[in-house]
Structure 1
Amino acid sequence: MLLRDLVAHPGLGLRLLHDGGSASVALERPVRWVYTTDLIDPARYLSGGELVISGLVWRGKPADSERFVGAVARAGAAALAAGAAVFHGVPDDVVEACRRYDLPLLEVPEEVSFATVTEIVIGSLTAARGNRLAHKLGRQRQLLSAVAGGLGLDELAGQVSAATGTVCRVLSATGRAVVPGPRPLDGEELDRVVATFLTAGRLPAAVAGGAQSVFPVGPSAEQRLTSWFVAAEGDLADRDTETTDTIGELVAIAALDRARREEGLRVARDIADDAIALIAGGAGNRPETAVRLKQAGLDPAGPLVVAVAGYGERVETARAVLADAAAHLGPPAVGVHEGAAVALLPAHDPAGEPAGAVLGRALGRLTPGLGTDRLVVGVSRPSGPDALSGALQEARHARDVAALRPGPLHVVTGAEVVSHVALLATVPDDVRRAFAARVLDPVLDYDARTGAGLRETLEAFLDCSGSWSRTAAQLHLHVNTVRYRIGRVEELTGRDLGELADRVDVFLALRSL
């Protein structure tokens, strides 16, 4: 309801005593609600947009008008309606205070009760809300009918964009375009949009600069790292209620569409788990593995890469994040094996960019939302079906290398894996563990009994290329202490760490633990 409608109402006889600087502007102010008071400072009960009605009982002296009107104006009220009954008119000091604060002032005649004014305002507001609700329900029915009729999410987003004049896109947390809109967002703009979605204290939120606003898709309890969101062009603050409601309906339908897709992916996960288990067992070149890869949408004859992701103990989160990032390359097979998320995916995207680079860029967008958590990913080199088991081992070792690096996110490719790690990746796990136990078990047992810190000293000694002084400085120990501990290691292992061959044995045994 506008002030203009209230002043023009024939049954009230309200008189405009102050127009807030311009009658045409003042009369276009919307009235959100009505509040009747005779408190001299009612600000705590106002939230903005109210028509404040007062009988002026609070006025004991002219100076009281300054306090009352100031409190009402600062609270953002739409206008003050002052009753004429107590003073047989509205005192001049009240009018002057309203002029100073640019607060529109209406006089309520003595014969008109405040209850009548309140009833008319509330009735008008209720009718307007009813009309808006009916319009909203009609629009929702149209959209849901379109969904039931088979209209795709991209087509619905196009309809909403056309209806609101606001281009809407549906994106994932790695920047994957579920609905790309009329043009893809460029890299920097996409990064800003995703970062805003991941880090905003409250959603929806506007991207810095006002070029986009982001709306979450899905339940509020879901992690943003694994969510979708709607990016709508323009600043949230500049949109009217109609536009915001329509975008909200697109958000709800996107959530339904996502849930439907998740149901379809459950079968794909079982297929991926089977394929990964076969590959881990050394059956990458068997016919049944090729069948599973085809069912997952992969070409078993083409080069594939394996990616392994770790996100603390949250394996399902790691799987969901890896699946979203891998989808930038095409349909991946993503499952869980031995407590880690594992993906089988094409070696490059349709444009020829290597899988590792695509995954690194997509996962890099998640960095603002990781906080103190760590996401580490290893990606193998491209392999044929007969070498996928080795590729899985290589990806695991690349993931382990990523875990050794500081920071919230690291993606390490097989090409970055140092030579001894690549060598160890080809050695069966039981052989590797047996070798490590034969070399280092006496040291580990001694540490367990005495807490002597021999393993820690040995690792530092090898990292410092056998330098006594650098090892001592790194561990904050006296050089003689380092010499004693390394001497005990040599006694327990039967190795001379001054000899290159023995030093290599101990180094590889440490890396095999």
Structure 2
Amino acid sequence: MLLRELLARPELGLRLLHAPEASLDRPVRWVYTTDLLDPARYLSGGELVISGMVWRNGPGDAECFVAAIAAAGAAALAAGDAVFHGVPDDVVDACRRHGVPLLAVPEEVSFSAVTEYVVGSLTAARGDRLALSLGRQRQLLSAVAGGLGLDELAVQVATATGLTCRVLSATGRALAGPPMAQLDEAVTTYLTAPRLPAVSAGPHSLFAVGPASESRLTGWFVVVEGAFPDWHSEIADAVGELVALTALDRARRGEGLRVARDIADDAVALIAEGAGSQPETTVRLRQAGIDPATPLTVAVAGFPDRPDLAETARSVLVDAVSHVGPPAVGLHDGMAVALLAGDPAALHPALARLEPGLGRDRLTVGVSRPALPDALSGALQEARHARDLAATRPGRLHVVAAAEVTSHVALLAAVPDRLRRAFAARILDPVLAYDARTNAGLLETLEAFLDCSGSWSRAAERLHLHVNTVRYRIGRVEELTGRDLGRFTDRVDVFLALRSL
């Protein structure tokens, strides 16, 4: 109920002595009667505080009492006339200073009468809201049982609340609702908020779907326009029902995914054995919703430092692959292996959204080039090599494509660190030592020269040097390393040494 409604009851005879602008529209959550000088510890906000002011022994007491209830978020103060035959001016002044609405309770009106009216009104209103909520729940459950989809469910709740509702996965996959401009920010807030629900920019309120014990990396969440602390209880109830029904829908889909995972496990095992073109593999791929006649890309994912998170890696990859097509994802040798027919380019941005939620864990992913069924075994090996390369890089998340596996990066990654450093030192230590003594900039010039394919003029332009300076420095590098950078083989040695530093 509102303060305005309380003042409008003639049988209570309440007089308004002070009311800040718009304060009469404040909701009253409960009522609390006290004569303590500092009752703040008994208030949780939104109460109508009723007091006979027995605590008042001097003018300073009013300041103490009113400041305490204001800090606790009281909706208003109802002060009785009986003790002082009116409300003292110092109490009125304190209420003005702290912005607390002040009502006077006539001597002939008991505090119990005010309390009974407020409690009765609030109880009746809560009963009405409960009946409305139960009716809405029955309506929504009946609609879901009748085949209402998650997208239609979100539309129904959005229509009832006037707020746009969405359901998203941890990689930002839209499960229900319209596209979201602030998608990345919402996902980051979901993954990193200390507790949920939380509010992201927009503002948007985020609610976890499912048990709190589940890893957020594999979870779903509901996004609703507005900040949930500002909502009326009816809106909060409707959103809560959407979250609960979304959890039911997710559980229902989970049953189907469990069957699909067994099929994917069989298909991946057959491909690993080199039977990608065998009839049994073809059948398994079709059962997983994939056309075996089209070229397929293989993606391999895992947590290199956490073999116990293999199922988490599978769930993450299922979510990411779903941005592209049917999620045929199995487990093989402790890694999640996905087979997809669509463009794998969408995997990288989807997986990148998870990085803020990885904490200390590292997720590495390797992606093959498209291959026909008879070459899928090789594609799997290619994806594994790409993931091995990803595992050598620092950072929490790396997705490496097959194109990088055929480059010098893959070659160097396969060489033990000790040998790679020894190779670099044997060739470049004289250059590094010379730079350390003279600050001549030989290493920087060498890198620019090789990056410009041995062009003197382009290297000079990049370094903002005269071309003769570049020629002199490269000549000095050749003297120190014993390599002729005009020869292709020597240039390759120096290039690989630079990349091995």
TM over 0.5: yes
Specify which of 386, 400, 408 is matched with residue 412 of structure 1: 400
> What is the 5 A alignment of 1:111-126?
111-126=108-123
Q: Is the 8 A contact 1:49 1:77 kept in 2?
A: yes
Which residue is 2:4 aligned to? 4
> What is the 5 A alignment of 1:110-259?
110-181=107-178, 184-186=179-181, 189-210=182-203, 212-259=204-251
Cα deviation per residue 1:13-35 (whole Å; 9 max; x = unaligned)?
3222x13245xx34322211111
Which residue is 1:308 aligned to? 300
Which residue is 1:489 aligned to? none
How much does 1:459 deviate? 4.7
Which runs of 4 or more aligned residues in structure 1 lie more than 6 Å from their structure 2 counterparts after TM superposition?
420-425, 468-472
- Partner AA of 1:255 in structure 2: A
Which residue is 1:20 aligned to? 19
Q: Is the 8 A contact 1:394 1:422 kept in 2?
A: no
Which residue is 1:460 aligned to? 421
Counterparts of 1:203 and 1:469 in 2: how far apart (Å)? 57
Counterparts of 1:264 and 1:463 in 2: how far apart (Å)? 54
How much does 1:195 deviate? 1.5
Q: Is the 8 A contact 2:202 2:226 kept in 1?
A: no
How much does 1:158 deviate? 1.6
Specify which of 320, 328, 339 is matched with residue 325 of structure 1: 320
Q: Percent identity?
A: 68
Residue 278 in structure 1 maps to residue 273 in structure 2: no
* SS of equivalent residue, structure 2 residue 196: coil
Q: Is the 8 A contact 2:188 2:356 kept in 1?
A: yes
How much does 1:332 deviate? 2.5
Which residue is 2:35 aligned to? 38
Counterparts of 2:104 and 2:47 in 1: how far apart (Å)? 16
Specify which of 103, 107, 110 is matched with residue 104 of structure 2: 107
Cα 1:53–1:180 change in 2 (3 A) is closer
* SS of equivalent residue, structure 1 residue 27: helix
* SS of equivalent residue, structure 1 residue 315: helix
- Partner AA of 2:311 in structure 1: E
Counterparts of 2:138 and 2:63 in 1: how far apart (Å)? 52
Cα deviation per residue 1:274-311 (whole Å; 9 max; x = unaligned)?
01111111111111111111111111111001111012
Counterparts of 2:14 and 2:373 in 1: how far apart (Å)? 85
Specify which of 325, 344, 351 is matched with residue 339 of structure 2: 344
Cα 1:464–1:286 change in 2 (3 A) is farther
* SS of equivalent residue, structure 1 residue 309: strand
- Partner AA of 2:282 in structure 1: A
How much does 1:467 deviate? 5.7
How much does 1:341 deviate? 0.8
Which residue is 1:54 aligned to? 51
Counterparts of 1:246 and 1:152 in 2: how far apart (Å)? 17
The answer for unaligned runs of 5 or more in structure 1 is: 349-353, 426-431, 437-454, 473-499, 508-513
Cα 1:467–1:28 change in 2 (3 A) is closer
Q: Is the 8 A contact 2:202 2:225 kept in 1?
A: no
Which residue is 2:281 aligned to? 289
How much does 1:84 deviate? 2.2
Q: Is the 8 A contact 2:28 2:75 kept in 1?
A: yes
- Partner AA of 1:415 in structure 2: A
Q: Is the 8 A contact 2:297 2:368 kept in 1?
A: yes
Cα 1:456–1:344 change in 2 (3 A) is closer
How much does 1:176 deviate? 1.1
Counterparts of 1:71 and 1:64 in 2: how far apart (Å)? 11
Specify which of 361, 376, 385 is matched with residue 388 of structure 1: 376
Specify which of 337, 344, 362 is matched with residue 350 of structure 2: 362
The answer for unaligned runs of 5 or more in structure 2 is: 434-488, 497-501
Cα deviation per residue 1:235-283 (whole Å; 9 max; x = unaligned)?
4455433223212211111111110000011111111000111111111
* SS of equivalent residue, structure 1 residue 275: helix
Superposition RMSD on alpha carbons, in Å?
2.7
Residue 403 in structure 1 maps to residue 391 in structure 2: yes
Specify which of 244, 250, 261 is matched with residue 269 of structure 1: 261
